[in-house]
Structure 1
């Protein structure tokens, strides 16, 4: 695999998506976020609405380890796949879409356990973006035109959902610096500062290849 892929995990309101989009813009490559749903829907046969309603949501049933031992990503009609909970099917459809994208082009991928899906990809930089809570509250209030209390509730809900999703499927801890090559505080560095750091880290990694 010669393509270089940058994956970005992010706290809600930390501007992780904006940072990913700016990184992609500077490198002249694509940034995938919701676009993954369209690709996964096309390849798996799911309608996009079903994928979106289950996007980055964990499942509490059916052991993932059992799925990975018995399920082939290329056979959507096999019995193990048909017996899975819907959330599990959505994850596996996106998992395959992420691997296909990384196999054909250099890109930035936001969220969706992309770092886990690409753990064997030889040129992959895994980044996590976090920020001070007050800064995130202000960002969410401005972005969604909601009250401070609603922004706090939304941040708590979204972070919990993302953490549960990541922890469940990757068997690692969301936001733990040991799971990423680079963790950045966007409330200190700003969007441009984070982008500069990511690009600098990318260059260092390429020098070692």
Structure 2
């Protein structure tokens, strides 16, 4: 069974109603990204950061996987599918995908501010005063700007065994995630689904300039 590796970004979940990471002026839901997605921002104004993610979490619980998520899950009948996502939602899992690696964390989990490996499921709001079992404030289980990406080595290992690489809904501008494509074997076929693709992607990549749902329909006819 061929190994199909999928890299997904914000465009994958946009059609489910999850807003993309940030708009053209660099703001995220009206906030400077560093205010709500960095350790410095959290130290400066933890209530703002917690409220920001509380709103994102509530939104996530109100939406459903789209046809693109479901199409990827269906591919598990004919391929060994590994999904590496930059998204912090659980829509891949809810659609039925069974092998999902979240590079940037998961919105429906929390972790201790004292021990980053103390991670646990969390679907409610996080408030100041919510503590881990050892008495430390908890925070969203999100990889913020300025923090290491703990799963990047595992993601590299996955890419190194790809027969087919599919990139969906990402600008290929956020590193280290954007570098993963370089670790796939030269023999791997590469497809890129995005209505606004990154420039200069290379002649070896087959571009499908569509949003995720219609792009996945075209992809399944090609592979």
TM range (shorter): 0.3 to 0.5
Could you tell me the TM-score, scaled by structure 1's length?
0.39
Q: Which has the higher strand share?
A: 2
Point out which structure has higher relative CO (alpha carbons under 8 A, 6+ apart). Answer: 1
Q: Which has the higher helix share?
A: 1
Could you tell me the TM-score, scaled by structure 2's length?
0.37
